[in-house]
Amino acid sequence: MKTKLLHSVITTLRLPELIVPAVLTVFPVATLATEGDTLTHHTSLKEIVVSGASQSGTRIKADGTITLNNSRIGDMMQLFGEADAVRYLKMMPGVTTSSDYASGISIDGAEFSHTTYRIGDAPVFFPYHFGGVFSTFNNRHFSSTTLDRTCGKGKGPNMIGASIDFITPTDTDSSAHASLNVGIVNSGMSISIPVNRKLWLSASARLSYLNLLYGNLLEDNETKTRYDFHDVNITANYIASDADRLTINLFRNADRLKYTNDDYAMTTAMNWHNNLASLQWLHKSSHIEWKQNAYVSNFGSSLSLEMLDFIFSTPSIVTRIGSSGYLTSGNRFKWNAGYEVGYTHTSPQNVDYSGYINHSLREKNNFNSVDYTISAQCEIKPTEKLSVTPWCKFSGITSHSYSKVFVCPGTSITLKTGKNVVTSAIYKSLQTIHEAGFSDIGMASNFRITSTRQIKPQTAFTASIDYMRFLSVGHRHDFKLTAHAYYRKLDNAHEYSGNLISVLKDDYNVTDNIISGNGYSAGGNVMLSKERGRISGHISYAYGITRLKFSSSSQGYRPSANDLGHAVTAYARYEINRRFNVSAAWSFTSGRRTTPIKSIYIISENVIMQHGERNSARLPDYHHLDIAANYHFTSQGRLKLRHTIAVSVFNAYGRDNVEMQSFVIDSDTGRYHMKQNKSIYKYMPSISYAVEF
């Protein structure tokens, strides 16, 4: 009877399936211990924590936190032979890009730079390979990915938006395993081996050869694109004792892009890299959990333009060295306290050029800062149904002659009633590293700059509410309905106002070209999902607005480049049998915000466009359908090998998604002609083969 009761409670609470048999195994033993007359020693268990991997690919918690099971993502959707967690997150409601070339994701209408990506609690500043098609995070290297819209509440880093954490496996009990993936864009391998009973090493690497097979697709009569990348992940887990574990994460990626336009005799080159090293120590005993972390993370990029002997390059660097620690304890009254301290060096737009006027070497633009945070958070459960989590962060930043302290409090309240869970949060957040540059779509050429007296830290006040309800079909809770609404007020939003020519001026100062203002975003989304069964998937709708107002402009509040508008995603996966599954994903968003061209005229035989108010129009709607099929089979030999053949088509109905719109003159007819630069990602097929043991 008790077993049945517990089973129904667990099913209602939708705990991962693996927990159910584990708890069901433990519970009868506990029952026997208390009821058996041969046992004289009574043990009272205050808490049993049973962990296991969810069989579901995606798990959404009541507070809107999304957890992806990375091992299942590959089985759900692969593009260009790569399963990508960030790409999969774009199918979640309120998570959008509206562009194939955008490098970044906007969550709830926030700027791309408001989201932080982390490996081992260390930030990865630019986690994209070109075009945002897939991220620098090798899916095979990570066990799970979490998206937290509150950026970790009191325990997270100082960011305005969300945090996306890539979690490396910590299960050192399983045997060695490896996988090899061969695709037509890139290939990769991943290996995980126990060195001894205490030390476990994992390494993953990917190398692209896009130019070889897709080279012809990347060029036309006027333009030619060449691109390659590699990324490497290494993780070492060392079990120092039953309670202590050390984890080292190393990561590097490097990308090289070259784009030649014969019409202008111009070659644009963009190179970027991330380097990261982090060391984590986790002490976990029955009473406390202490997590200590130290890291260094570096991102460098360079945009170069070459027009025969005119060569211009603008390299930028950001390096952060930091340490954080969190102590967690308590049962019914759970609390944690922590700190984070970091030194950030930014060196934006260190311009060098030749083939123009003689110029003296400029001093490097270096902006350094030290920031520190002390935080405390507790979780109070006045009743079984209600939990309240207040937190407070005291943060300070010192940068050159600028120094300021911020207090960022917050509270989250969760109420569970039957099948319904409601979570509301209200908090203030802070961000001290900013992104700006020539690109509205977050390309690698954008630079990072730390806060100064002129470029003040961004702060935001956020209020959000999340609702989750399990929907029953027959006796099973197969469907889940989630809804999320938010409002965010933003202070000290920054935007770049310079242009490339002005950078060549001797007296160019990057801070003079960053404008500041205020803004707000508001919106909501709803999603119906089915996470288990032969047919799984979700459908979601989101709507949001983001407005910004800059003191240097007379325009008043105007849409941000990441103003969401409408967004719909639909994803379905059908498991035909244990070997074969097919999936399809359709996403639609209102066209990306753009500054409209209102008039055209000619000056000195050049077409000049007169623009309207910034971001006051939209490009055509962005949508595409991606389809994929996976076939698994195993082979027996000295090793039992699992093989997967993945076939996919990106943008299967060939939608011409417009990335840019302008006007040119047709010199043959003497008429203006609207030129639309369309995404090259159209009917993009890919096939890959993976083998693992």
Partner 1 sequence: MQWNFKIISAICVAFAALTGCNDSIDEDIAPRQLVVEGYIDSDGYPSVFLTYSVTANDYDRPMSDNLVRWGKVTISDGDTSIILTGAPNNNSFPPYHYRTFEMVGTPGKHYSIKAEFHNDVATASAEMLNPVAINSVDFEPIADSDSLCATFVNFTAPSDTPAYFVVFTRSITANTPFQPCMLGALEITIPSDKCRLQVYKAKSDFSPSDEDFVPHFKRGEDIQVKLSRVTKEIYDFWLAFSNESTFGNSQFINTSANLPSNVTGGFGIWSVQASSSIAATVK
At its nearest, how many Å lie between partner 1 and the CB of residue 511? Answer: 18
- Asked if 586 touches partner 1 (CB under 8 A), the answer is yes
- Asked if 599 touches partner 1 (CB under 8 A), the answer is yes
- Asked if 151 touches partner 1 (CB under 8 A), the answer is no
Instruction: Give the one residue of 176, 288, 602, 639 binding partner 1; rule: CB under 8 A.
Output: 602
Q: Which residue has the tokens 């950078």?
A: 503
| Secondary structure of 380-434 in HEC code, one letter for each residue | ECCCCCEEEEEEEEEEEEEECCEEEEEEEEEEEEEEEECCEEEEEEEEEEEECEE
Q: At what angle do helices 2-13 and 19-35 cross, to 10 degrees?
A: 150
Instruction: Give the one residue of 259, 402, 487, 574 binding partner 1; rule: CB under 8 A.
Output: 259
Q: Which of residues 614-633 bind partner 1 (CB under 8 A)?
A: 614, 616-621, 623
- Asked if 303 touches partner 1 (CB under 8 A), the answer is yes
Binding mask 338-377 for partner 1 (x = CB under 8 A): -----------------xxxx-------------------
Token pair of 41 as six digits = 């020693």
Residue with smaller CB distance to partner 1, 393 or 592 = 592
Stretch that binds partner 1, among 19-27, 307-315, 401-409, 546-554 (CB under 8 A): 307-315
Q: Which distant-in-sequence residues (6+ apart) come within 8 Å of 327 by Cβ? A: 288, 289, 290, 291, 336, 337, 338
Instruction: Give the one residue of 461, 574, 631, 672 binding partner 1; rule: CB under 8 A.
Output: 672
CB 620 within 8 Å of CB 658: yes
Q: Is 601 exposed, middle or buried (0-12, 13-18, 19+ CB in 10 A)?
A: exposed
Stretch that binds partner 1, among 63-71, 402-410, 455-463, 593-601 (CB under 8 A): 593-601
At its nearest, how many Å lie between partner 1 and the CB of residue 670? Answer: 5
CB 683 within 8 Å of CB 652: yes
**57 three-state secondary structure:** coil
Residue with smaller CB distance to partner 1, 26 or 572 = 572
Question: For residue 226, how many C-alpha atoms fall within 13 Å in the half-sphere facing its CB?
Answer: 7
Token pair of 151 as six digits = 């950026």
- Asked if 310 touches partner 1 (CB under 8 A), the answer is yes
Which H helix or E strand runs over 502?
Answer: helix 500-503
Q: Which of residues 525-554 bind partner 1 (CB under 8 A)?
A: 539
- Asked if 598 touches partner 1 (CB under 8 A), the answer is yes
Token pair of 652 as six digits = 């299967």
Signed CA dihedral, 63, 71, 92, 148: sign only: positive
- Strand ranges, E, within 103-208: 106-107, 116-119, 122-124, 144-148, 163-167, 177-183, 186-194, 199-208
At its nearest, how many Å lie between partner 1 and the CB of residue 271? Answer: 13
- Asked if 186 touches partner 1 (CB under 8 A), the answer is no
d(CA 681, CA 431): 34
At its nearest, how many Å lie between partner 1 and the CB of residue 234? Answer: 32
Instruction: Give the one residue of 8, 534, 666, 683 binding partner 1; rule: CB under 8 A.
Output: 666
Token pair of 138 as six digits = 């090798």
At its nearest, how many Å lie between partner 1 and the CB of residue 661? Answer: 6
d(CA 444, CA 125): 10
Binding mask 457-486 for partner 1 (x = CB under 8 A): ------------------------------
Residue with smaller CB distance to partner 1, 399 or 562 = 562
- Asked if 106 touches partner 1 (CB under 8 A), the answer is no
Stretch that binds partner 1, among 108-116, 380-388, 433-441, 476-484 (CB under 8 A): 433-441
